[in-house]
Amino acid sequence: MRITLSTDSPFSATTDLLVIGASSPKVDKDEGLAKLDKALGGVLGDYIKDEGFRAKPGTTLKVPARSRVKAKWVVVVGVGGEDPVADARHLGHAAAKASARQKSASIVLPEESPAVVRALSEAVFTGAYRYTAYKTRRPKGGLSRAALLVADKKDAALKTALAQGKAIAESVNLARDLVNAPPNDLNPLSLADISKEEAEKLGLKVTIWGKKELEKKGMNLFLAVNRGSAIEPRFIHIAYEPEGAEKKVAFVGKGLTFDAGGLCLKPPKSMIDMKCDMSGAATTLGIVLAAAKMKLPIAVHAIIGSTENMTGAAAYRPGDVFTSLDGKTVEIINTDAEGRLVLADCLAWTRDELKPDVMVDHATLTGACMVALGPYRAAVYSDDDDLAAHYAEAGETSDEKLWRMPLDDDLRSMLDSPIADVKHTGAQWGGSITAALFLREFVGKTPWVHLDIAGPAFNDGPHGRAPKGGTGFGVGVGVAFLERLAAPADEG
């Protein structure tokens, strides 16, 4: 996909699809739409009426242009008309989805601003995403060129915005690829290889540890989860450290390339999609790569704990007790609550070795989170109200759905163990909260945000602008959060 800025007018753009927004089915409500309708001899208005097109945000109507303008087709996209950035997302996505046969699109901007160009660029790239790696007959076609119609294609701010949107989209699409990859091919070893390759392309520092190093460090919770797997674990650390950076943010990702549940085996219906259990890792990787491409003036670290959770002869058992890297002893209750164990050691390591200003973890951690918030919303946990607010606002910016959940202290006693310092699961209720409370045991005083992305990381079918399968959820919010930290908005 190539996206460019173009000074063509909507009438002169030589393109397959001319894409324009409509906030109402009345063509004369919008000046650009009215002009285009006039140039087309009124066919836009006619087709809109004939098809009963209501211009509901995200819906599209394709009208043949019949050589009255240079474009072959005019694609009218319903938009809210109130927020140009939100409109841009609809437009970009619709342009990418409008046809599997047409190659090029020219898009009329709802407003000529960097924010709009960035949103368009991101939406076109992510909208054009398809996962075809395992199809021997790859579906042909799909959009390959998009032009954004602007007054000045040399405008530096717009060009930067275009590149930023692309950088974010590339990370989102990479995360989707990694999540969609089948678990026989995407395992801790290949995840580490791909992470290293992508990070080194950008000149980032990469450290990868296997079982030996984890044993030497004493990451026994992480190792416990790995015991049942025939494949070695990988600890992946990527560092983006721009000169002069004053702040340091560490992202920690759950990288379970397959979660069978261990000896507390999942039933088949719950196991089928468990290749998605490395989504936190994929998001974490995506964020650090995007931050580097965008040259954000802030140090960003990605820490990924990757293993499978399997049932091999050496598998860890309910009742086992392990000493964490942090020193706390942990009694194993349910081997399917493995993510928090891997994260506990990774969080403790990050806290002590990197001493970041903020630590943010992403994990497909609990089914309970989906019970609470449904499949499209991530839970945000933090003891720090300011941080939680920053994350909420970043979610608004990136248009990803978040909801703050409570770290209720009175649930903490559910994690008391009769024989060890803590056990790793609570009682029946509040499973997402007790998982977060367990993680909190390992973050110390470091400001920390935990995102349970079990719902939105993976879709049963397309939803909104997210595709079926891996969604890349969290990359956009993470980047927006970093941008807020780097350039805090004036607050009253």
Catalytic residue list: 266, 340
For 5, list phi and psi in degrees, rounded to 5: -90, 140
Which CA distances in Å does 491 have to 76, 383, 487? Answer: 39, 21, 12
> Which residues are CB-neighbours of 123 under 8 A, at least 6 positions away?
88, 89, 90, 91, 92, 93, 96, 165, 169, 465
Which of Zn ion, ligand BES, Mn ion, none does 119 bind, CB closer than 5 to 8 A by kind? none
Three-state SS at 343: helix
Q: How far is the CB of 362 from Zn ion (least distance, A)?
A: 13
Does position 177 interact with Zn ion (CB under 5 A)? The reply is: no
Among the listed ranges 72-80, 159-167, 334-342, 439-447, the one in contact with Mn ion (CB under 5 A) is 334-342
Among the listed ranges 20-28, 330-338, 440-448, 468-476, the one in contact with Mn ion (CB under 5 A) is 330-338
Q: Which of 259, 361, 452, 483 binds Mn ion (CB under 5 A)?
A: 259
The residue number with the shortest CB distance to ligand BES is: 367
Does position 446 interact with ligand BES (CB under 6 A)? The reply is: no
How many angstroms separate the most distant Cα atoms in the chain?
Answer: 81
Smaller CB separation from ligand BES, 79 or 433: 433
3-class SS string, 78-147: ECCCCCHHHHHHHHHHHHHHCCCCCCEEEEECCCCCHHHHHHHHHHHHHHCCCCCCCCCCCCCCCCCEEE
- CA pseudo-torsion sign 415, 419, 420, 423: negative
Residues 391-430 that bind ligand BES (CB under 6 A): 425
For 206, list phi and psi in degrees, rounded to 5: -125, 135
Which CA distances in Å does 90 have to 84, 141, 234, 349, 464? Answer: 10, 21, 39, 41, 9
Q: How far is the CB of 363 from Zn ion (least distance, A)?
A: 8
Is the CB of residue 324 less than 8 Å from the CB of residue 344? yes
Does position 339 interact with Zn ion (CB under 5 A)? The reply is: yes
Beta pairing class for 73-78 and 60-64: antiparallel
Does position 259 interact with ligand BES (CB under 6 A)? The reply is: yes
Q: How far is the CB of 35 from Zn ion (least distance, A)?
A: 54
Q: How far is the CB of 234 from Zn ion (least distance, A)?
A: 16
Indicate the residue type of 215. Answer: E
Residues in contact with Mn ion, counted by CB under 5 A, come to a total of 3
Among the listed ranges 68-76, 258-266, 324-332, 469-477, the one in contact with Zn ion (CB under 5 A) is 258-266
State both tokens at 96: 């990418």
Among the listed ranges 16-24, 57-65, 335-343, 363-371, the one in contact with Mn ion (CB under 5 A) is 335-343
Does position 338 interact with ligand BES (CB under 6 A)? The reply is: yes
Q: How far is the CB of 298 from ligand BES (least distance, A)?
A: 30
Residues 237-256 that bind Zn ion (CB under 5 A): 256
Q: How far is the CB of 310 from Mn ion (least distance, A)?
A: 11
Does position 277 interact with ligand BES (CB under 6 A)? The reply is: yes
Q: How far is the CB of 420 from ligand BES (least distance, A)?
A: 17
Cα distance between residue 452 and residue 139, in whole Å: 34
Residue 217: in which H helix or E strand, if any?
A: helix 211-217
Q: Which of 16, 30, 308, 336 binds Mn ion (CB under 5 A)?
A: 336
Count of other CB atoms within 10 angstroms of residue 140: 7
Q: How far is CA 132 from the centre of its chain?
A: 20
Does position 262 interact with Zn ion (CB under 5 A)? The reply is: no
Is the CB of residue 90 less than 8 Å from the CB of residue 58? yes
Does position 277 interact with Zn ion (CB under 5 A)? The reply is: yes
Smaller CB separation from ligand BES, 106 or 425: 425
Site residues (vs Mn ion, CB under 5 A) = 259, 336, 338
Site residues (vs ligand BES, CB under 6 A) = 259, 277, 334, 336-339, 364-368, 425, 431, 454
